[in-house]
Amino acid sequence: MPATTMEQLVSLCKRRGFIFQNADIYGGLQGVYDFGPLGVELKNNLKAAWWRSMIYERDDVEGLDASILTHQRVLHYSGHEATFTDPLTDCKKCKNRFRADHIKDGKCPTCGSTELTEPRMFNLMFKTTVGPIENADNFAYLRPETAQAIFTQFRNVVDSTARKAPFGIAQIGKTFRNEITPRNFIFRVREFEQMELEFFVKPGTDMDWLEKWKDIRINWWIEQGLNRDKINVHRIEESELAHYSKATYDLEYEFPHGLEELEGVANRTDYDLGNHTRYQSELNLSSNVHENKESSAKLALFDDETKKWYVPFVVEPSAGVERGVLAVLSEAYTEEPLPNGEIRTVLKLKKHLAPVKVAVIPLKRNHTGIVQMAQTIKKDLLKTGIGRVMLEDSGNIGKAYRRHDEIGTPLCITVDFESIEKEPATVTIRNRDTMQQERILVSELSTYLKNFFMS
């Protein structure tokens, strides 16, 4: 069964090298985590699956990789300077700080005191100095979302690709939010990655596309191993919508700490492109678009039928990579009883997400012939392009199997004495989920693995 507590995942992630607390030797930096040897593989595999589904498998989406440093005027006209805030309150007794909207019954979550300060709004964006002089004119922000660079580069992408609506621009990248109360491991942190698509459509078709993308994104998460019964679709109430949104769905997942947002799918209307465009008087824009005399761009498309320019509406599926990793780990985490009474912990990750695809294990670590064959097999399997192949030279086959069960390795290949003593050479393959073993020819390994990982 999936993980029931966050402690199970935290313990596994640290023990097996998935995720570590940042600056742990100095007590840690709150809300910041580092991905270890296996965590970075899992994270990259999840991002690659998203990129493949958005870019390679579609013919209507382009990619982008924009800068983290963001011009101050971009986030002024996007509304972030004015609205990207959370209510902050302090406990007068224990001096801890919290988001006011997370406090229940008017009591401090730490000490239970009711002596709390009046909530005040706190802007979540990180500022940084640009250039050698630190003053009010020489600063930029670390981007709080990847979306704004997509909007400001809209004209350049359209001009260089000749795209017409509907089409999208996708990006994966780091974002930064100065969260008041980071919590629940990597669920809410201050530095994280987003996988965002801005899909540009003609006004009037936006709500249909919102529904389409909601369904597309649910199906994608199912393909990553999530149980559909644990995904809840929450339609945001009109009174709670973001300043740019006409309608938003939150795709919520049952994490170990409760039901919370995994991905948002929002109808951003023409708010962003409209606010970043200069020639607003020539366009039919929504009422929430503000005058902009500083931009030099006309972020619009020409309609060949009406012979008029228009600003597209935008449908945005936006997911956090870290939340995705946490959901995938939670769903894959399994504890199974074995016939000998022991409990086996195994990560039943989808094959394409597994950090290590194949472990090659020499039965005897100091035996020259066995080790050399294992090394040769590893080199040959890397040429198949299936992903990471690891040489597991621990010398204890039982412990090697348990380790690779815990990190989610789909297949283990054991090289033993029979492998080097008999012709033709054979090895044993063990399946992670079934624990069944079969003996196959070394000459057939590449074909076997290609078929396994492509099925």
3-state DSSP of the chain: CCCCCHHHHHHHHHHCCCEEECCHHHCCCCCCEEECHHHHHHHHHHHHHHHHHHHHCCCCEEEECCCCEECHHHHHHCCHHHHCEEEEEEECCCCCEEEHHHCCCCCCCCCCCCCECCCEEEECCEEEECCCCCCCCCEEEECCCCHHHHHHCHHHHHHHHCCCCCEEEEEEEEEECCCCCCECCCCECCEEEEEEEEEEECCCCHHHHHHHHHHHHHHHHHHCCCCHHHEEEEECCHHHCCCCCCEEEEEEEEECCEEEEEEEEEEEECHHHHHHCCCHHHCCCCCCCCCCCCCCCCCCEEECCCCEEECCEEEEEEEEHHHHHHHHHHHHEEEEECCCCCEEEEECCCCCCCCCCEEEEECCCCCHHHHHHHHHHHHHHHCCCCCCEEECCCCCHHHHHHHHHHHCCCEEEEECHHHHHCCCCEEEEEECCCCCEEEEEHHHHHHHHHHHHHC
Beta-sheet pairing, 139-142 with 69-70: antiparallel
As a whole number of angstroms, the distance between CA 20 and CA 14 comes to 6
As a whole number of angstroms, the distance between CA 85 and CA 442 comes to 60
Give the per-residue pLDDT at 1: 64
Most distant CA pair in the chain, distance: 82
| Token pair for 414 | 């054991």
| Token pair for 26 | 């100095």
Give the per-residue pLDDT at 189: 95
223, amino acid identity: E
Give the per-residue pLDDT at 162: 93
| Token pair for 347 | 């990560």
Are 221 and 46 in contact by the 8 Å Cβ rule? The answer is no
pTM: 0.92
Give the per-residue pLDDT at 187: 94
Are 159 and 299 in contact by the 8 Å Cβ rule? The answer is no
Contacts of 243 (CB under 8 A, 6+ apart): 79, 83, 271, 288
Give the CATH fold of the 356-454 domain: Rossmann fold (3.40.50)
119, amino acid identity: P
Residue 187 zone, left/alpha/beta (φ > 0; ψ -120 to 50; rest): alpha
Contacts of 224 (CB under 8 A, 6+ apart): 46, 49, 324, 328, 350, 353
Domain boundaries, the chain: 6-71+143-328, 356-454
- Which residue(s) pair with 336 in the sheet? 344
As a whole number of angstroms, the distance between CA 249 and CA 243 comes to 15
Are 168 and 200 in contact by the 8 Å Cβ rule? The answer is yes
Give the per-residue pLDDT at 373: 96
Give the per-residue pLDDT at 180: 83
CATH no. of 6-71+143-328: 3.30.930.10
Are 436 and 430 in contact by the 8 Å Cβ rule? The answer is yes
Q: Which residues of the chain have pLDDT under 50?
A: none
Residue-wise pLDDT tens digits, 204-257: 999 999 999 999 999 999 999 999 999 999 999 999 998 889 999 999 999 999
CA within 13 Å, CB half, 402: 14
Residue 420 CA, distance from chain mean position: 44
As a whole number of angstroms, the distance between CA 269 and CA 128 comes to 30
Contacts of 396 (CB under 8 A, 6+ apart): none
Q: Could you tell me which of 108, 76, 74, 75 has the C-alpha nearest to residue 89?
A: 108
Tell me, what DSSP letter sits at residue 444?
A: G
